[in-house]
Structures are given as C-alpha cells and as structure tokens.
Structure 1
Amino acid sequence: MAKNIGPIQFTGKLGDISGRSTSFGNILQTPGGFKGERIKTEDRYIKTRQLNSEFSRCAKISSVLYKSLGWHLKTIPDTYVYGHIQGRICAIKECDEQSPKGEKTVARGLATQKGQLLLRDFSFNRKRDMTPALMISARFFLDEGRLFLRQFDVSRAVSPKGAKHLGLQLVLLRLDTETPAVAVALSEMVFMPLDSERKDIVLQAALPEGEGTLIGLLYAGFCGEDHGELFWRRDWRNSLGVVG
C-alpha cells in the first residue's frame, strides 16, 4: 500500500491498481488475494498468522475503547487517535512474556507491573498531556469512584485564546479485554471560569458494572461563551488521561 503525494490522484481501479480517498490522503494498493490465501494456509507464514491473531484481538479492544470515548475524543483534533490507542494496547500485550507467539493477551500483559505502568501514564492526546499538572495535590479513590482536587488552580491549564471556562469530568471505565467490552460511568461536568480562584473540587461517578479492569480518566476541555451559552472548543490543549 502506498500514499500518493503527487498531483495525479484517483479513486477506483486503474489496471491492477486501486485508489481510494481517506482522511490520510489518496491511498494506492494492488490486489492481495493470492498472497492472502497463502498466508492463511502455508507453513512458511505461521509467524505471520500468529502476529495477525494477536493484532486482531488488540484491534477489537482498541475499537471498543475508542467508541466508548467518542464524545471526549472528538474534542481533541487528532486524526491518528485510534492508532495511538492501538499502539499502547499492543505494547501492553507485549508485556505478556509467559505466553507463546500468537497467544499473548492484553489481560496477561496488564497483570504485569510494566503493563500497568503503560496504562497508568497513558494520555489520549498525543501532543499535549495536561493531566499531570491538573492532578497536583489530587487524591483519587478508585474503588469509591471519587476524585478530590484539593485547592484546584485553574491557571495550571494553559488555555487557548478565546476560551472562557475549563470543563472537568471523571470518566470511569470497566474494560473487559476478553469479550471485549467497555462499561462507562461519568461524573457531572464541573465548569470553572478561567479567572476563578483556587477551590476544592470533588468529581464523583458510579462504579461501572461488569467484569474487567477498572480505569479512571480525567477529562479537561475548554469552552468558549457566546451570549451566555457555553460551547466546546476542539483544541489540542483539551486532554483525556488515565489517573488510576
């Protein structure tokens, strides 16, 4: 598969070449049916089949995560956010050092210290992670679904021009990597004017039901104001990061 960077671009078929327009540009590729059948059946491609099997499981987990956080991720202008999620999921899967190739799982990867660290410091925003600055003096009680931001200082958030408020929300996920499935619970959104003084903030969410790993995320997004009405800004400074 190749990406067309020249002036001549097309969609459809031209001989053995197919062109299609995507959010990443004009993509050109040739049919791969024969090789695809060989990969499925020939012994020489057994390692490829093993990698494909693991990659497929990671893709399903990444997909349910991405869909469950659709609204929050739409406020972050990143075309590659799905690939960013999948890259981290695959990295966690690789922490499963006990299973043979083709049988490594995200669940066993998360059972390791390295896998937990990869999840704990993950930010869905590739270019800017505001979460550590916002979590200064914070206490997170995961089993109670409560995030306490002590004397929260809104000036820690570097705001875009024209923003008037910062919205804060606790997002709790119950991630079942075997099904895979995601259950989500949200706290109420707290809006802070950017000229606010420091104050205590408590974000409380119900614990999601179901099986799997419980994960806490902090969402922080900027809002503008028009005739007294708030509207969300789609900006790189918005963040969604794991806090526990």
Structure 2
Amino acid sequence: MAKLKGIIKLEGTLDNLTFYKGKEGYLVKTKSGVSKERIQNDPAFERTRENGSEFGSSASSGKLLRTSARNLMIRAKDNRVSSRVTQVMTQIKNFDTTSIRGERNVATGLATTEGKAALKGFDFNNRAILSAVLFAPFTVDSLTGEISIPNLTPTNDISYPSGATHVSFTSAFLKVDFDTTENAIEYDTIPLSV
C-alpha cells in the first residue's frame, strides 16, 4: 500500500488504482479481487455467499437493537458501538444450530442459553462501562424489567464527579423480536442524593 504525497488529494477509483483517506493520510492501492458476478454465480464461492448472507442478517439485527435503544445511546461517545454490536450479533447467530449454513440467524441463536449469555452485560457505551460507575451488586428481572440494588449506599457504591450532590439512574426495558423486528421500550429514572 502506497501513501499519496503531493498537493492533489484524490479519493475514488481511477483505472486500476483506488485512492482513499485512512488514519495514516491519503493512500493508494491497486484494485484487486474477484468480480461481483463471479461471487454471485460461481459454485466455488458458495461459502462466500453463505457468509455474506449471515453477516448481512447479523448487521441488520445489530442495527435493529441500536435503533431500538437509540434514546439511551444518544449521548454515548462510543464510535465503535456499531461494529461491537454486529460482532456480538454474529456470535449469537453462531449459536443457531437448527438452521442450515447461510440461513443461521440471531433470533434463533438468541433463544439458546449461550446466545443470551453472549448479550448479557453488553455495554453500549465502552467509554462509560456500568461496572466502573456502579460498584453495588444488582439484579434484573428479565420478565418485568425490575432492577434491584439492595443496600445501595450512594457515597460508597457510585463513582460520581467531585462536587456532585445528586445522581440519577435511567434504565430501560427493551423488548425486541428479531424475527418480526417489532420492538418496545419503557424508561424509568431514579434520582438519588449523594
């Protein structure tokens, strides 16, 4: 891969060269790969088509989850959440052992114990992990959404900014059907004095 030096900054493809901007600056590489038509029709690329189909399904499931929880994620500063959610959805899809390869999906994978475990504890904001803010043990009733934090002592169990006198917890109970894409969310906010 070559770096482009000069006053002209190009992006796009010209003949057999692709120009693009990366973290290292403007880069250029030769166009390579197999044609789209060959991937879509050649029997040798059957596994590639299966993988592509499953990845697309996992990415769509991830987008559904992110969109459903959007109001909670609006102030998050995690610019990698899309790829992290897609990665977890792909792991969950892999627990679908009933569908044939190329048709495995998140909905079936999430019905397994392993699929649920893969999603449990996922932090939507990698820059504000819950376990780094709340030190008290808590439980969540998955049927009602009720959160229980017994014996919470805010001054000892919550990491809050210096000078803060009040904190609040906002929770959401999200129900998503990855088969039908139906979703519903309920919010609750609990103010506390510290």
What is the TM-score when the length of structure 2 is the normalising length? 0.77
Counterpart residue number, 1:118: 118
Counterpart residue number, 1:224: none
Q: State the AA in 1 paired with 2:173.
A: L
CA distance in structure 2 between the partners assigned to 1:81 and 1:178 by the alignment: 22
- Identity, % of aligned pairs? 24
Inter-CA distance 86–47: structure 2 relative to 1 (3 Å threshold): same
CA distance in structure 2 between the partners assigned to 1:171 and 1:107 by the alignment: 21
Counterpart residue number, 1:134: 134
Judge conservation of contact 2:20–2:27 (CA < 8 Å) in 1: yes
CA shift digits 1:178-229 (9 cap, x unpaired): 1334322212x22334xx1xxxxxxxxxxxxxxxxxxxxxxxxxxxxxxxxx
Q: State the AA in 1 paired with 2:138.
A: A
Counterpart residue number, 2:80: 80
Listed as ranges, the gaps of 5+ residues in structure 2 are: none
Q: Quote the offset at 1:55 in angstroms.
A: 0.8
Q: Quote the offset at 1:19 in angstroms.
A: 4.2
Judge conservation of contact 2:134–2:159 (CA < 8 Å) in 1: no
Counterpart residue number, 1:168: 169
CA distance in structure 2 between the partners assigned to 1:62 and 1:112 by the alignment: 18
Counterpart residue number, 2:10: 10
* Alignment partner of 1:63 is 2:63: yes
CA shift digits 1:6-44 (9 cap, x unpaired): 766533444444445689976767768961111111100
Judge conservation of contact 1:93–1:104 (CA < 8 Å) in 2: yes
Q: Quote the offset at 1:176 in angstroms.
A: 1.1
Judge conservation of contact 1:23–1:79 (CA < 8 Å) in 2: no
* Alignment partner of 1:152 is 2:152: yes
CA distance in structure 2 between the partners assigned to 1:27 and 1:112 by the alignment: 44
Q: CA RMSD in A?
A: 3.4
Q: Which has the higher contact order (CA 8 A, sep 6+)?
A: 1
Counterpart residue number, 1:54: 54
CA distance in structure 2 between the partners assigned to 1:5 and 1:160 by the alignment: 44
Structure (1 or 2) with the larger CA radius of gyration: 2
Of the structure 1 ranges 4-13 and 176-185, higher mean CA displacement relative to structure 2 is found in: 4-13
Counterpart residue number, 1:103: 103
Of the structure 1 ranges 120-129 and 104-113, higher mean CA displacement relative to structure 2 is found in: 120-129
Secondary structure of 1:59 counterpart = helix
More strand by share: 1
CA distance in structure 2 between the partners assigned to 1:66 and 1:129 by the alignment: 17
CA shift digits 1:52-100 (9 cap, x unpaired): 1111111111111112222322322111111011100100111123333
Counterpart residue number, 2:183: 182
CA distance in structure 2 between the partners assigned to 1:128 and 1:77 by the alignment: 9
What is the TM-score when the length of structure 1 is the normalising length? 0.64
Q: State the AA in 2 paired with 1:110.
A: L
Secondary structure of 1:143 counterpart = coil
